[in-house]
């Protein structure tokens, strides 16, 4: 049984551990958070992930061993790095976590091990890691150790399913490293695509930026439609309906730990960065634009506002970089009375009816499935007569972004 150490057992690392265990690997899931590791040992999923609880119960202390002991790295043939790569307060890439993990890795690295980097990084980071290991250990890539960048491209909450289904990009630092990484992924992914490390790094960032820019176009069209006092959902339908060159996306709040910051791995050294920068500005300001439109219809001071959805995406419990908190802060500045709800986040998962009751404004910030089950008549029966609804996701099917329930 081949042994793997997965360093970083978070929202990417833990599903990876479970997928590897299910494929027959012996997996050490290593993380510095003692309480977090203890929770996993007790077979309790720390976040929402489809089909993960079943695999956790099946594999803990069988094929999967959660641990804080970094010495387990020495026993492993493969080392998978899934640590985070945030941006700092100046929106520059912050590599502190990678640097700290590399220090630990160098203490335990043995010959013939294969290192697989899955964190989103700026182009050239895999090469930088190779040079660092070669300098500190005098081992040579492709001979004494092997290194590849193999990005995760899964959607949070769907990792178990999508790890198997989505083709895995293999970016070896050289040919032998690519072969080793291909071998590693074959037991639990249907297809692998081989390339070089930098191309793989760019592929990951470009994937996220393509989605993010599409959101920004949709949000800009939404703003333009609002300024012309027209409904964006009707216009999108006019464009897309049975039209071969349609395909315009719907507007929405684009955020989260990846989409929010991954573009900054590209633009921090480039002078021609307008498209990505402007996309970020549009997506980050869309919530405040909608708040301004609400204020044009009603005074917010001392009014009850129900803010629905605090996670950054539907049917997920991850609130990192969620734009809901930007809206909440703006409402606080207006002296509104704010009640927040999210069915999947413990802090906000009270009764939806209590949150909506007597509301004068409802803002749907996240399009959770639970909200789609509610009818406008049901909502109307709970709220004040002239309650204003702001629903960028068209969750209630009205095909309008902002409207009064008295209409």
**Residue 385 CA to its chain's centroid (Å):** 38
**349 domain residue, yes or no:** yes
Same domain, 186 and 225: no
Tell me which residue range forms the domain holding 52: 3-190
For residues 174 and 314, state if they share a domain: no
Strands 146-149 and 192-196: unpaired
Question: Which of 48, 59, 46 has its CA nearest to residue 19?
Answer: 59
Closest-CA residue to 255 (of 326, 329, 339): 326
Report residue 145 as tokens: 């150790």
Question: Burial code of 171-199, b = ≥16 C-beta within 10 A, e = fewer?
Answer: bbbbebbbbbbbebbeebbeebebbbbbe
Q: Which segments of 148-196 does DSSP mark as H helices, in order?
A: 159-165, 175-185
Lowest mean pLDDT among 261-265, 306-310, 345-349: 261-265
Q: Is residue 243 part of a domain?
A: yes
Write the pLDDT tens digit of every residue in 213-240: 899 999 999 999 999 999 999 999 999 9
* Contact (Cβ atoms closer than 8 angstroms) between residue 101 and residue 83: yes
- Residues 355-375 pLDDT 10s: 999 999 999 999 999 999 999
pLDDT tens readout for residues 76-86:
999 999 986 66
Residues 147 and 224 in one domain: no
pTM above 0.85, yes or no: no
Residue 206 lies inside a defined structural domain of this protein = no
CATH number at 59 reads: 3.40.50.720
pLDDT band at residue 264, thresholds of 50, 70 and 90?
Answer: low
* 222 and 155 fall within a common domain: no
Residue 255 included in any domain = yes
Write out the DSSP string of 329-344: HHHHHTT-EEEEE-TT
Q: Is the dihedral of CA 327, 50, 208, 88 positive or negative?
A: positive
């Amino acid at each position: 049984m081949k042994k793997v150490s997965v360093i970083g057992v978070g929202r990417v690392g833990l599903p990876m551990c479970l997928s590897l265990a299910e494929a027959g690997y012996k997996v050490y899931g290593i993380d510095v958070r003692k309480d977090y590791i203890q929770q996993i040992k007790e077979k309790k999923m720390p976040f929402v992930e489809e089909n993960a609880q079943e695999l956790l119960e099946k594999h803990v202390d069988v094929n999967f061993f959660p641990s804080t002991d970094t010495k387990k790295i020495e026993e492993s043939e493969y080392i998978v790095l899934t640590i985070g790569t945030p941006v700092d307060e100046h929106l520059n890439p912050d590599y502190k976590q990678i640097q700290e993990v590399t220090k630990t890795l160098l203490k335990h690295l043995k010959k013939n091990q294969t290192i697989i980097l899955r964190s989103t990084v700026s182009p050239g980071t895999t090469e930088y890691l190779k040079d660092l290991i070669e300098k500190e250990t005098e081992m040579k890539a492709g001979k004494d150790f092997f290194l590849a960048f193999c990005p995760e491209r899964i959607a949070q909450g769907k990792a178990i399913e999508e790890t198997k289904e989505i083709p895995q990009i293999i970016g070896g630092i050289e040919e032998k490293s690519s072969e080793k990484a291909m071998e590693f992924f074959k037991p639990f992914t249907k297809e692998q695509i081989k390339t070089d490390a930098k191309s793989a790094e760019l592929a990951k960032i470009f994937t996220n930026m393509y989605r993010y820019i599409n959101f920004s176009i949709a949000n800009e069209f939404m703003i333009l439609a609002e300024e012309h006092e027209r409904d964006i959902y009707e216009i999108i339908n006019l464009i897309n309906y049975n039209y071969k060159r349609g395909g315009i996306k719907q507007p929405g709040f684009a955020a989260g730990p990846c989409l929010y910051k991954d573009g900054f791995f590209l633009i921090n050294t480039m002078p021609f960065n307008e498209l990505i920068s402007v996309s970020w500005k549009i997506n980050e300001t869309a919530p405040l634009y909608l708040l301004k439109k609400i204020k044009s219809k009603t005074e917010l001071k001392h009014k009850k506002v129900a803010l629905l959805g605090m996670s950054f995406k539907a049917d997920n419990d991850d609130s990192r970089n969620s734009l809901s908190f930007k809206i909440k802060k703006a409402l606080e500045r207006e002296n509104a009375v704010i009640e927040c709800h999210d069915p999947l986040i413990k802090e906000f998962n009270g009764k939806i009816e209590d949150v909506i009751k007597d509301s004068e404004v409802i803002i749907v910030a996240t399009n959770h499935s639970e909200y789609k089950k509610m009818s406008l008549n049901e909502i109307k029966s709970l709220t004040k007569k002239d309650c204003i609804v702001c629903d960028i996701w068209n969750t209630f099917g009205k095909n309008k972004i902002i409207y009064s329930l008295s209409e």
